[in-house]
Amino acid sequence: MSAIVVEHLHVVRGARPVLPDISLRVEPGTVTGLLGPSGSGKTTLMRAIVGVQKIAGGDVTVLGYPAGTRELRSRVGYVTQAPSVYLDLTVRENLAYFARVLAADPERIDAVLDIVGLAALGSQIVRTLSGGELSRLSLATALLGEPELLVLDEPTVGLDPLLRRDLWDTFRRLAAAGGTLLVSSHVMDEAERCDRLLLLRAGELIADESPASLRERTGCERLDDAFLSLVEAEVA
Amino acid sequence: MSLRVTGATALRVLRQLRRDPRTLALVFFVPPLLITLFRYVFDGQPQTFDRIGGPMVGIFPFSSMFVVTSIAMLRERTSGTLERLMTLPLAKLDLLLGYAIAFAGVATAQACITSAVAFGLLGLDVQGAVPVVIVLAVANAVLGMAMGLFVSAFARTEFQAVQFMPAFVFPQLLLCGLLVPRARMNHVLEAVSTVLPLTWAYDGIAHAVAGTDGIRVLRDAAIVAAVAAVALALGATTLRRRTS
C-alpha cells in the first residue's frame, strides 16, 4: 500500500488555482524530494497531504485514511517552513508539552534532542535560539511521536552544511526503518539524497522519477541543470 | 477530549505566563491600585465608593482575562502553533478548557488580592460572603476569557486585538449598571443592556457584595456560566483544522 495517494487534487487559493489537477503516489520506506520554484505549490501540496488545506476536489489518502482524519493525527508529523513552537518556553518545556499531547514516552525528549543536536540547549528559552536552532526544534517536535509519515517543508533552510548532512543521515535512517518522508527543498545536493524527486512547476508535476533517471532523461550531469532544463522547457 | 491533554495545555499556558512576570504583575496589581485610586477620588462621597467599589472586584477579572486571552490566542494563530496543534491528537475542547483552567487559576489569585485590598485595607463595605464574591469574580474571568477567545478569531494583528477591549468591554461597562443604575437609563439603552452578559455579571456581584437576594445571585451566576459556555462553543467553531 502506498503511504500517500493523491488523485486529481484540485486546490484554489483566493481566485488562483494553485494545484489545478495533480496525482501522485509516495511509497513507504522512501525519501521523496519535492522541488520547484517558489510559488509552484509545494507548500499547498504538503498542507493537503497533512490535511490542513481546504481542497476544491480530488482525493488525498494517507496511510490508508483520508488525509487529516483523526486516526492520522498521531501517525503523521508535519514541520512547517516557519518554526511553530512557543517562543516563551524553554526547549524542553516545548518538547514536554507536545510529548504529552502525543502521549509519547518522556524519554523520547532526550532522543529527539540528540537527533537534532540540541541536547546542550534544553533549558534555553526558545526566543534566544538562532534561526537554525529554532527550525531544528520544530523538527524535533515532529519526531517525538515517531510518526510513520514525516512531511517536512524546507527543514534545512539556514542550517550549516555539517548539520544538513547529519539531518539527511537521520532522514535516511528513518526511511531505512520503514518511515516515509516527503521533504521539500531548494538545495540540489539534498535532491541527490532522495529516492525519488517530484518537480512542480505552476502546480503541475513535470517530473516524478529517481535522480538517476532525471539525469538520463535530460542529459544533464548536474541535477541543477536538469531542473533548469525541465522548468525552462515547460515555459517555452 | 482527554484529561492528559487538557491538563498539559493548562500547565503550558501557566508556564508561558510565569515567563512573563510583567504581565502577571499588571494582572495582579493594577486592579488593587485602581480600586485604591477610586477610593481616594471619591474621598468626599464614600457612599459612591461603597456602591461601585465592591462590584469592581468582580469586574476586573472579566476585562483582564478578555485582553490576555485574545492576545494569547491570536499568538497561537499567527505563530503557527495552532496549526500544529490542529494536526495533533488534541481535541478543540482540550485547548479551550486548558486555557479556561489556566486563566481561572490566575483570576482566582487576582480576585483574592483585589478583595484583600478592597475589603481589608480600604475597608470597603461587604455584607455578603467574600468567598462568594471571589467565586463570581472567577466566573466573570471565564466569561471574559471565552469572549476574548472568540473575538481573537476576528483580529489579524495584536493592534486590532487590543482595540477589541474598548469595542467590546467599554460599552458593557457603561451599560451594566455599575455607573448608572439601569432603571435610570433611557429605554433603548436599558433594553440593550439586558442582552449584554456583563449586565448579569455585575448584577450578581453587586448582590453578592450587598449580601442580598441569594437566589438572584445564583440566577445571575447561572446566566454568566451559560453565556461563557456559548462563547466557548462559538470560540471552538473558530478553531479550524483546515484553512484555505
A185-211 pLDDT, tens digit per residue, is 877 788 889 999 999 999 999 999 999
Window 47-86 of B, Cβ < 8 Å to A: 79-81, 83-86
Note the pLDDT of residue A161: 87
Does residue B123 lie within any of the structural domains? yes
| Angle, vertex CA B148, rays to CA B147 and CA B149, nearest 5 | 90
Cell numbers standing for residue A43? 507548500
| Cβ neighbours for A71, distance < 8 A, ≥ 6 positions apart | A65
Residue B165 clears pLDDT 80, i.e. is over it: yes
B177-231 pLDDT, tens digit per residue, is 988 899 999 999 999 999 999 999 999 999 998 888 889 999 999 999 999 999 9
Reported as half-sphere exposure (CB side, CA atoms, 13 A), residue A92 has a value of 9
Which residues constitute the domain of residue B172?
A: 3-237
Does residue B175 lie within any of the structural domains? yes
| Cβ neighbours for B120, distance < 8 A, ≥ 6 positions apart | none
Look up residue A90 and give its DSSP letter: B
Residue A122 clears pLDDT 80, i.e. is over it: yes
Could you give the number of structural domains in chain B?
A: 1
Integer Cα distance of B244 and B236 in angstroms:
18
Does residue B129 lie within any of the structural domains? yes
Interface size A-B, in CB pairs within 8 Å, comes to 76
Task: Give the class (CATH, top level) of A1-75+152-158+176-236.
Answer: alpha beta
Average pLDDT of chain B is: 91
Integer Cα distance of B180 and A129 in angstroms:
52
Cell numbers standing for residue A217? 532523461
CATH code 3.40.50.300 region(s) in chain A = 1-75+152-158+176-236
Nearest chain A residue (CA) to B80 = A84
Does residue B73 lie within any of the structural domains? yes
Binary contact (B16, A86; C-beta < 8 A): yes
User: CB of A216 within 8 A of CB of A229?
Assistant: no
Note the pLDDT of residue A235: 57
Helix axes B46-79, B130-151, angle to 10 degrees: 40
Does residue B244 lie within any of the structural domains? no
Residue A68: which of B30, B57, B86, B186 has the closest Cα?
B86
Higher confidence at residue B244 or residue B12?
Answer: B12
Mutation target to probe the A interface, by most A beta carbons within 10 A, among B84, B99, B241 is B84
Cell numbers standing for residue A136? 531544528
Share of chain A above pLDDT 90, in %: 72
Residue B89 near chain A (CB below 8 Å): yes
Share of chain B above pLDDT 70, in %: 100
- Residues in A touching B11 (Cβ below 8 Å): 97
User: CB of A26 within 8 A of CB of A32?
Assistant: yes
Distance of residue B22 Cα from the nearest chain A Cα, in angstroms: 13
Dihedral of the alpha carbons of B222, B224, B230, B232, in degrees to the nearest 10: -120
Note the pLDDT of residue A236: 54
A129-180 pLDDT, tens digit per residue, is 998 899 899 999 999 999 999 999 999 887 888 888 888 999 999 999 999 9
Strands A31-35 and A57-62: unpaired
Mutation target to probe the B interface, by most B beta carbons within 10 A, among A79, A100, A124 is A100
Q: Of A18-32, A218-232, B204-218, which one has max mean pLDDT? A: A18-32
Give the closest of B8, B89, B243 to A97, CB-based. B8
CB atoms < 10 A from the CB of A56, how many? Answer: 14
Residue A49: which of A16, A9, A14, A98 has the closest Cα?
A9
State mean pLDDT over B97-122: 91
Q: Cell 471552538 belongs to which residue?
A: B236
Residue A13 near chain B (CB below 8 Å): yes
Distance of residue B3 Cα from the nearest chain A Cα, in angstroms: 10
Burial class of residue B220 (count of CB atoms within 10 Å of its CB; 0-12, 13-18, 19+): buried
User: CB of B198 within 8 A of CB of B59?
Assistant: yes
Dihedral of the alpha carbons of A81, A83, A84, A85, in degrees to the nearest 10: 170
Give the sign of the dihedral formed by CA B42, CA B45, CA B49, CA B52.
negative
Nearest chain A residue (CA) to B94 = A101
- Residues in A touching B83 (Cβ below 8 Å): 52, 80, 84
| Inter-CA distances, B193 with A69, A168, B148, B221, Å | 43, 62, 19, 17
Does residue B242 lie within any of the structural domains? no
Residue B18 clears pLDDT 90, i.e. is over it: yes
Residue B53: which of B68, B64, B37 has the closest Cα?
B37
- Residues in A touching B16 (Cβ below 8 Å): 86, 88-89
